[in-house]
Structure 1
Amino acid sequence: MSFTLPGQLADTPEEECAVFGVFAPGQDVARITGFGLQALQHRGQESAGIAVGDGASMVEAKDLGLVTQVFDEAKLAALEGFVAVGHCRYSTSGAAASWEAAQPHISAIDNVLVALAHNGTLVNTEALRAQLDAEGVVLRAGTDSEVAAKAIGHITQDTHHLRQGIRWLMEHMEGAYAMVLASPDALYAFRDPNGIRPLCIGGLPGGGWVVSSETCGLDIVGATYLRDVEPGEIVRFNRDGLTAEQGVPAARRASCIFEYVYFARPDSVLDGQSVYQARRAMGRILAREAPARADLVLGVPDSGVPAALGFAEASGIPFTDGIVKNRYVGRTFIQPTQEMRQMGIRLKLNPLPSVIGGKRLVVIDDSIVRGNTSRQLVAMLREAGAAEVHLRIVSPEVLWPCFYGIDTDTRDQLIAANMTLPQMNEWIGSDSLAFISLEGLRASLPDVCHPGFCEACFTGDYVVPVPLP
C-alpha cells in the first residue's frame, strides 16, 4: 500500500500554550511566575514571557526558547512588582515562532499598559482584526492573542473600565480561550463560555493568588487549589481581594477531553479528575476492549506509561520499561542536521534490545494523528528484536481537525480519516492495532465534576461553529 504523509510535521497533537498569573504584594511575583511556567513547560516550548506591574507601570521580558533559556536570575530580578502574567507558547494560530508572536501581549489604555496571555484559539479572529483595523488600531504580531489584547485596550479607552473592555471582548470573540491579564495594580482571569481550555485558581501561603492552566503550576509554588475559573466568568484579584462576575452566560459545557489523554501533566487535576488515574483507567478499559496475546506491555514515554500500567494490571501481562526517552533533544539551542532530522523518532526514543528482544509486545501510546511516528516506532522496535508489536491507542481515532488550540492540521493529513483500521495497521507495520472507544474514554473520567466534553476531533461535533475558509 502506498501512502505518504508530510515527514517534517509533528506527529503528535501540540497544545498552543500555557498561562500563569500572580497577584501577591510583598512577594517575588516574577520568580513565582518563572517557576509556574517551568511546571507548565510541556504545553509549549517555542517562547516564554513574563510581564510585571508595580502599581504604576508594566515591564515585560520575553523571547524565543524555553523558560530557563529566556530567564536567568538577572532578568527575573529586573522584573519588580506585585502582579504578573506569564506565558509559554506553541504556535497554532497566526505567526509561527517569532519574538512578535511571543506573549504576553502589551496593549495601551491611554497612558496605562496592560499585558495579556492566552491559551486557546479564536475562530473569528479575522472579523475582529478587520474591525480594529478600520478603527485605526495597529496590529503587528498576526496572532489572535494580539487581537484580543488590542481589542481590550481599545474598548477600555472609551469605557474607562477594564472589566467592560474584557466583557466586550468576551461578547464578540468566538472559540476557545483561557486568558490572564495584568494591569499595573490588578490581575484578571477569564474563560470562554464553554470552558474548553482549563484555568484554575490557587491561594499562596504568604497571601495572594495564583492562576494557572493546570494545578501542577499551583503545586510547584506551594499554592493551594481553590477552584476553577468558571466558563464565561471574569475573576479580578487586587488589594480589595477576589471578586467574580459573569462576563457572558455559560453555554454548553465542553472541556477538551484530549487534556486527559495527552496534554495535561499526569500530576494535574482537571475538574476534579486526577489525570494520572484517568490514564491508568484508560489502559484498563483498553485491555478489556482490545486484548492481545503478548509477553510484555510497554508505554511510549511519557504519556503512554500510566495507561500501559493500567493495561498490564487488567490483562495480567507484565509491564516493563522497554523504551528510554531523551527528554532534552529538541529542547536545546543545538539544532539537528537534515540527516539527523530524517532519523525522526530515534532522536527522542531508544529501545532496549536486552529487554524486548524476542518478545511479543503490547505498546501503548496516547494517540495517532498522522501516523509517521507510529510507523517509525514499530520499525525501530522490530530492529531491536521484538517478535511482535501490537499497538494499542488510548484515544479514539482522530478524524477531524481541532480549531480550538490544538495543531492537527486538515483532514487530508489525519491518517484515520483516510484509511480503514486494517489499512492503518498495514501501513504502520504493526501486528495488530486498536483504539479505545469513545465510550471507554468517557468511562475513564468518573470524577469529572461536569457532564460535557469537547470531542470534536473524534466526532466532528464542533461546539463553537467554525467559519468555512
Structure 2
Amino acid sequence: MKEYCGIFGIYDNPNAAYYTYLGLYALQHRGQESAGIAVTDGKRITYYRDFGLVSSVFKSDSLKKLTGHTAIGHNRYSTSGASDSPDNIQPIVVSYKYGQLAIAHNGNLVNALELREKLEEEGSIFRGTTDSEVIVHLIVKSRKKKFLEKLIDALSKLKGAYSLLVMTNKKLIAARDPWGFRPLCMGELNGSPVFASETCAFDLIGARYIRDVEPGEIVVVENGKVSSLRLPGSEKCKKSQCIFEFIYFARPDSRIFGKSVYEVRKEFGRILAREYPVEADLVIPVPDSGVVPALGYSQESGIPFEMGLIRNHYVGRTFIKPEQKMRDIGVKVKLNPIPELLKGKRIVVIDDSIVRGTTSRKIIRMLREAGAKEVHMRISSPPTKWPCYFGIDTPTRDQLIASSYSVEEICKFIEADSLGYLSLEGMLEATCGSREEFCTACFDGKYPVDVPERIVEQSKKK
C-alpha cells in the first residue's frame, strides 16, 4: 500500500511559508513524490512546487521568494492521476475572473471521472489528470455570487473523500467531506489559525491543537476571525473515518479522529495477543508500523520484546530493483535481521498488514536464515480483502491475497509456523469506536459511498 497526501495551512503569520515547510516536513510520511507551497500577501498568490522530498524541493532561496502571511502546502503520493506530470503537483493555483485561488486536497473522489467529462463537454480545459483539479473547475464555473457560495456549490457535487484547504488572497478555508474519510486538524500558533492532516505537524512548530475539523464542516478564516458552517445535506451521510489511518498511515505521535494513534496501535497488539496467543521466546516488529502493536503484544503476553529486524531509513523510492535472480535483495536492503538475537528462538513477528504476501514470505525466510527456530506471524489488522477508492492506493482485489485464500492457505504461502489476524471486532474495540464511525470497506467490502462500476473496472487496469 502507498501513502497518499498530507496538507498544511496557516493564516496571518509573517513566517507563513517557513512554518508550512516545517509542517510538510512533519507530514513527509504521507507523501514522498512531490511537494508544494502557495502563499499570499493579500494581493497575489505565489507558489513553488516540484518532485521530491520536502527537504530537496525547498531550499532557502525558494522559501525566501514565497513572501506573504497566509500559506497552504501539500505532500503528494499519487492515488489519482499520473505521477510523472508536473501539472499534478499541488497546491493547484489558478487565476480566474474574480482573482486567484489555490487548493490542496487529500483524498479521492469516486465521481471525479463523471464530473470531469461533464465539465469538458461544457468547455473546461484540464492541465493535469487529478480529481483535485475537478474541484477547482467546479468552483470557478459555479454561478453563485460570493466565493463561499461557489465553494459550497462545488463541494455539494462531490462524492468520496476530501480533506481540503482552499486559499484566496483574503481567505483560508478548510473543508472535510461529509463522511469524514480523511483526518484534518485545527490548531493555533501565536494567534494564527493552522490546519494539518495530523497533529504531529503542530508539535514540530509549537502550535496548540484545538480540535478536528468535523465531517461535513467548512471552517472559514477571514479578517482574523474564524467561523464555521455545515455543508448542506451532510447530516445525512454516515461517518466513515478511515481506520487504516490508525493501522498504518498516521504517525504514532499524532492524534487523529480525536484519539492517540500510539495508544490505539498498542491496544491492537494487546487484543491480538489475547486473540492469538502462542508460546514463544521473543516478540519482534516489522518496523516501523509494527513497532507499537508489537509492544502491546509483548506487554499483554509477557513475551520479551526485541528489535530483531533493523530498518534502513535511507532507502528512497528511487532504489534500483535488481535482476530477477537477485529479487530477494530488495527486502534485505530495507530490513536486516540480528542473528545473535534470533538464533534458536521461537519468534512472534508483528506486522500491520499482508497485501500480496510476497514481502511477508521473504521476511520469514530471512528470519529462518538468521537462525530462528519458529516464526509465528501476527497481523495487527483483519485480512485486507477489498481495494480502497477513497485515497489509499491499494492493489486490485485479485492482487490482495486474502481475497482469494484462507488464513491457513496464506500461512502456508508465507511459510510461517502459524498466522493470526486481529479480528474486525478487536480492531474496533481498540479504537473505542464502532462500525458507525469508521470505514472498514477494505476488510468487509461494505463501501459507505456507492462506487461507480466504471471506476471499479478502471482500477483493475492499473
Q: TM-score range by the shorter chain?
A: over 0.9
For residues 163-242 of structure 1, what are the structure 2 equivalents within 5 Å? Answer: 163-204=148-189, 206-242=190-226
Alignment partner of 1:404: what SS?
A: coil
Q: Deviations over 1:257-309 (max 9, x none)?
A: 11111111001111221110111111110001001111000011111111111
What is the root-mean-square deviation of aligned Cα atoms in Å? Answer: 1.5
* Secondary structure in structure 1 of the residue aligned to 2:295: helix
Indicate the SS of the match to 2:36: strand
2:103 counterpart residue number: 116
Residue in 2 that maps onto 1:23: 11
1:269 aligns with 2:255: yes
SS of corresponding position for 2:84: coil
In structure 2, how many angstroms separate the alpha carbons of the residues matched to 1:338 and 1:162?
52
Q: 1:137 aligns with which of 110, 119, 124?
A: 124
Native 8 Å contact 1:107 1:153 kept in 2: no
2:63 to 76, 79, 96: 76
Q: Secondary structure at the match of 1:381?
A: helix
Identity, in percent, stands at 49
* From 15, 29, 36, the counterpart of 1:42: 29
DSSP 3-state at the match of 1:87: strand
SS of 1:150's equivalent in the other structure is helix
Aligned partner of residue 159 in structure 1, secondary structure: coil
Name the residue aligned to 1:376: 362
Q: 1:449 to 1:409 in 2, by over 3 A?
A: closer
Residue in 1 aligned with 2:423?
Answer: 437
Q: CA offsets, 1:42-101, max 9 Å, x none?
A: 111000000001111111111110000100111111101111110001111121233111
Which of 336, 341, 346 lines up with 2:332 in the alignment?
346
Q: Distance in 1 between matches of 2:363 and 2:196?
A: 34
Structure 1: runs of 5+ lacking an equivalent:
1-12
Shift of 1:342: 5.4
Normalising by structure 1, report the TM-score: 0.93
* Larger displacement relative to structure 2 (95-104 or 223-232): 95-104
Q: Is the 1:283–1:309 Cα contact (8 Å) retained in structure 2?
A: yes
Confirm or deny that 1:456 pairs with 2:441: yes
User: Within 2, Cα distance between the matches of 1:68 and 1:449?
Assistant: 39
Report 1:238-387 matches (<5 A): 238-248=222-232, 249-250=234-235, 251-331=237-317, 335-339=319-323, 343-387=329-373
Unmatched segments (≥5 aa) in structure 2 = 455-462
The equivalent of 2:457 in structure 1 is: none
Q: Kindly indicate whether structure 1 or structure 2 has the higher relative contact order, using CA contacts under 8 Å at least 6 residues apart.
A: 1
How far apart are residue 31 of structure 1 and its match? 0.5
3-state SS, counterpart of residue 336 of structure 1: coil
Greater shift after overlay, 244-253 or 78-87?
A: 244-253
Deviations 1:401-447 (A, max 9, x none): 1000001121100000011111101111111111000000011112x
* Kept in 1: contact 2:328–2:362 (CA 8 A): no
Q: Residue 172 of structure 2 aligns to which amino acid in structure 1?
A: L
Query: How many Å separate the matches in 2 of 1:307 and 1:51?
Result: 38
- Residues 198 and 213 of structure 1 are in contact (CA less than 8 Å); yes or no, is this contact kept in structure 2? yes
Contact map agreement 1:214 1:268 (CA 8 A) in 2: yes
Provide the C-alpha distance between the structure 2 equivalents of 1:443 and 1:456, rounded to a whole number of angstroms. 17
1:212-256 Cα distance to aligned partner (Å, 9 max, x none): 001111111111111111111111112241011112323211101
Contact 1:107 1:150 in 2 (8 A): no
Q: What secondary structure sits across from 1:286 in the alignment?
A: helix
Counterpart of 1:101 in structure 2 is 88
SS in 2 for 1:122: coil
Deviations 1:317-360 (A, max 9, x none): 100111111111015xx642533775221121111111111111
Q: 1:402 to 1:337 in 2, by over 3 A?
A: closer
